[in-house]
Chain A
Amino acid sequence: MKLNTRQVDGVTIVDCSGRITLGEGSVMMRDTVRDLLSKGNKKIVLNLGDVNYIDSSGIGELVSAFTTTKNQGGELKLLHLTKKVHDLLQITKLYTVFDVKDDEAAAVKAFK
């Protein structure tokens, strides 16, 4: 898994690619979000457009990122879900829990 962070109008966009699964992928995601929050970056977009696989641990990591950010007064949105990830969030009833966007500019604009 690869993660790359960039700033757009005060929002941190994390471009994720590869697999978010038990082990390295989940740990990288957790560390990256915690690092961003500890540095005061509380407007976060996870761009999952290049994530081709996610397992239950990866889903758990997305939930953890969402709740950790929220608990610290921040906001986390998901961007560009692949069909696989979209379907998984649907069947786990998490699709409506997350704020999911299809357009990066709209995602950035949507932060309060």
Chain B
Amino acid sequence: MEQSVSYTLDSTLDTVDNAEEKASRIATELGFAEDEVMQISMAVREGAVNAVLHGNAYAPDKKVILAFERTPENLVITIRDQGKGIDLGNIPNPLAPENLLKTSGRGIFLMRSFMDVVEIRPSQTGTEVKLIKHVRGSSAGGKEGSQREHET
């Protein structure tokens, strides 16, 4: 069974909480284990933070697109902003001794720690982050049918 849902969200702090809650609810409904739900929701939260703060810079005219897709093997989550795009070659390693005591710069690292695959595609019209969590075991199955929602 395949299903997808997408949301168009404002560039606000509420969107960050909202994205996290949606991820937690959907991952739970798909049957992921409790620790995986936490990992997925946290990765989505970090992605949403990057989209709202660093991508769209809270601009009221820019939106964050959050999409969830369930395939037989994966939960695929896409977070897209409308910012300038990030420089992938300029992301410091937060585990390097000189960066350990920095107060920011751990978001992408946490996404990579918690998800099976993280793809980041920057462009001049925005950044797209794809977060993939493999479905393990047979317990993961959707409760909802195909749907497509839009929120503003």
- Residues on A facing B (Cβ under 8 Å): 21-23, 55-57, 59-61, 63-64, 66-67, 84, 88, 91-94, 97
A–B Cβ pairs within 8 angstroms, 10 of them: A22-B16, A22-B53, A23-B13, A57-B49, A59-B106, A60-B102, A63-B101, A67-B101, A92-B109, A93-B100
B95 at the interface (CB under 8 A from A): yes
Residue of B nearest to A67 (CB): B101
> A63: which B residues are within 8 A, CB to CB?
101-103
CB-based contact A97/B110 at 8 Å: no
Assuming the A-B contacts A22-B49, A92-B109, are A56 and B104 also in contact, with contact meaning beta carbons closer than 8 angstroms in the complex? yes
Q: How many whole Å from A91's CB to the nearest CB in chain B? A: 5
Residue of A nearest to B48 (CB): A22
Q: How many whole Å from A36's CB to the nearest CB in chain B? A: 18
CB-based contact B100/A55 at 8 Å: no
B interface size (C-beta, 8 A): 20
B80 at the interface (CB under 8 A from A): no
A61–B101 CA distance with the chains assembled, in angstroms: 10
Q: How many pairs of A and B residues are in contact by the CB < 8 Å rule? A: 46
Chain A: interface secondary structure?
Answer: helix
B45 at the interface (CB under 8 A from A): yes
CB-based contact B46/A56 at 8 Å: yes
CB-based contact B45/A55 at 8 Å: yes
B141 at the interface (CB under 8 A from A): no
> B100: which A residues are within 8 A, CB to CB?
93-94, 97
> B49: which A residues are within 8 A, CB to CB?
22, 55-57
Assuming the A-B contacts A60-B106, A84-B38, are A93 and B95 also in contact, with contact meaning beta carbons closer than 8 angstroms in the complex? yes
> A59: which B residues are within 8 A, CB to CB?
106
CB-based contact B104/A60 at 8 Å: yes
Contact of A55 among B46, B53, B101, B103 (CB under 8 A): B46
Q: How many whole Å from A92's CB to the nearest CB in chain B? A: 6
A1–B42 CA distance with the chains assembled, in angstroms: 18
